Amino acid sequence: MEFDHKVPIYIQVIRDIKIAIIKGQIGLGEKLPSGRDLALQYKINPNTSSRIYKELEQEGISFTKRGLGTFVTEDQQKLIEIREELSEGLFDNFIFGMKEIGYQKDEVIEMLNKKYK
């Protein structure tokens, strides 16, 4: 994975993990790599791993068992929440931004159709 040096690494990795979860590449309840392994995988410092897992835990996406490791929550509801959080953010940003620069619904949709080709 290549990092965009304009946005914090930990943010990018968190996003990456969230996407892996909602795509089912990482199952609910599954063990996540140890902090050290995550550091190796993404070529980051173990401290950064630790920060990543801490944030995920705070969002209720993972939890940790002392001495055992970090695990994905088993709460199915979370899956939906994550997906919504991610898409919601994209929609809001997009729609609000387009309004701000003066585009109406119809124009936006027409342009979107073109862009998607």
Partner DNA sequence: GTGGTCTAGACCACT
Partner DNA sequence: GTGGTCTAGACCACC
Task: List the beta bridge partners of residue 62.
Answer: 72
* DSSP 8-class letter at 61: S
**Phi/psi of residue 66, nearest 5 degrees:** -55, 130
Kindly state the smallest distance separating residue 75's Cβ from DNA, in Å: 19
Residues that bind a copy of itself (CB under 8 A): 5, 8-9, 19, 22-23, 58, 63-66, 83, 86-87, 90-91, 93-95, 97-98, 100-103, 105, 108-109, 111-113, 115-116
Query: H or E segment at 65?
Result: strand 62-65
- Choose the one of DNA, a copy of itself, none that binds residue 70, judging by a C-beta under 5 to 8 angstroms depending on kind: DNA
Q: Is 55 in the site for DNA (CB under 7 A)?
A: no
Please state, in angstroms and rounded to a whole number, the distance separating the CA atoms of residues 13 and 7.
11
Please state, in angstroms and rounded to a whole number, the distance separating the CA atoms of residues 28 and 115.
35
Q: Is 72 in the site for DNA (CB under 7 A)?
A: no
Kindly state the smallest distance separating residue 97's Cβ from a copy of itself, in Å: 4
**Phi/psi of residue 64, nearest 5 degrees:** -125, 145
Sites of contact with DNA (CB under 7 A): 8-11, 32-37, 43-48, 50-51, 53-54, 64-70
